[in-house]
């Protein structure tokens, strides 16, 4: 089993026994199914990598069309998140902070999960959330191109050196200095557990 991040996307690039998907085309179905709480994510763009509050990950090898549908000729990857617990109030929290370098951009990530009992022995709720932010490891401040030293449009002969460019036109194209490659993602999930009788859930 191989799991990685899709280049340019916060999505899973997974494979089982040499079969998988590394295309971002929405018209191309993956050969390995990815499911979160039994909900199939057919398109790569929907396969958010940053999972939180995970209980287990199940790997099913080989064709799994009977259980998981058409996009599972190579197998299936099933991510199961934690379910609510009756009559218990609990929580999990994670906080991360860092910098790319001494004068670089900030990296922040916060995760929170709360299990809340609503009705004794009948109803419970679990709510989770994640906020992932970073400024990006680099800035868009490099010179991307240089204006030619002699342009016939400004100097038809180009014999006595170039003429000065018009106002607003510089010899070099430079970025605006903003940070690039950053992340700003917020995601949340709510699960309910309802048990009206001992035989129903």
pLDDT above 50 for 5 = yes
Taking the model in full, what pTM does it have? 0.69
pLDDT (0 to 100) of residue 160: 47
Q: What is the pLDDT of residues 157-187, one digit of tens each?
A: 554 455 555 555 555 566 777 777 788 888 8
- Looking at per-residue confidence, does 97 or 155 come out higher? 97
Share of the chain above pLDDT 90, in %: 28
Q: What is the pLDDT of residues 110-149, one digit of tens each?
A: 999 999 999 999 999 999 999 988 887 777 777 766 555 5
CB contact burial 118-157 (16+ within 10 A = b; e otherwise): eeeeebbebbbbbebebbbeebeeeeeeeeeeeeeeeeee
pLDDT (0 to 100) of residue 201: 93
- Provide CB contacts within 8 A for 97, sequence distance 6+: 106, 107, 108, 109
CA distance 4 to 23: 13
CA distance 6 to 34: 14
Q: What is the pLDDT of residues 44-71, one digit of tens each?
A: 666 666 778 899 999 998 888 888 877 7
pLDDT category at 151 given cuts 50, 70, 90 is: low
What does the block give as tokens for 122? 């009948």
CA distance 45 to 99: 28
């Amino acid at each position: 089993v191989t799991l990685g991040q899709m280049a340019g996307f916060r999505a899973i690039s997974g494979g089982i026994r040499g079969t998988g998907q590394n295309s971002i085309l929405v018209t191309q179905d993956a050969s390995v199914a990815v499911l979160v709480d039994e909900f199939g994510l057919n398109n790569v763009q929907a396969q958010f990598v940053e999972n939180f509050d995970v209980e287990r990950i199940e790997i099913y090898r080989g064709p799994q069309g009977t259980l998981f549908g058409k996009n599972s000729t190579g197998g299936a990857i099933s991510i199961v998140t934690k379910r609510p617990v009756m009559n218990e109030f609990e929580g999990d929290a994670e906080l991360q902070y860092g910098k790319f370098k001494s004068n670089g951009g900030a990296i922040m990530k916060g995760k929170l999960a709360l299990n809340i009992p609503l009705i004794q022995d009948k109803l419970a709720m679990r709510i989770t959330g994640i906020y992932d932010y970073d400024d990006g490891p680099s800035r868009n401040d490099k010179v991307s191109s240089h204006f030619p030293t002699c342009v016939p449009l400004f100097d038809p002969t180009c014999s006595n050196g170039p003429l000065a460019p018009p106002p607003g036109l510089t010899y070099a194209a430079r970025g605006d200095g903003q940070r690039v490659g950053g992340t700003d993602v917020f995601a949340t999930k709510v699960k309910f557990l309802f048990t009206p009788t001992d035989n129903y859930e």
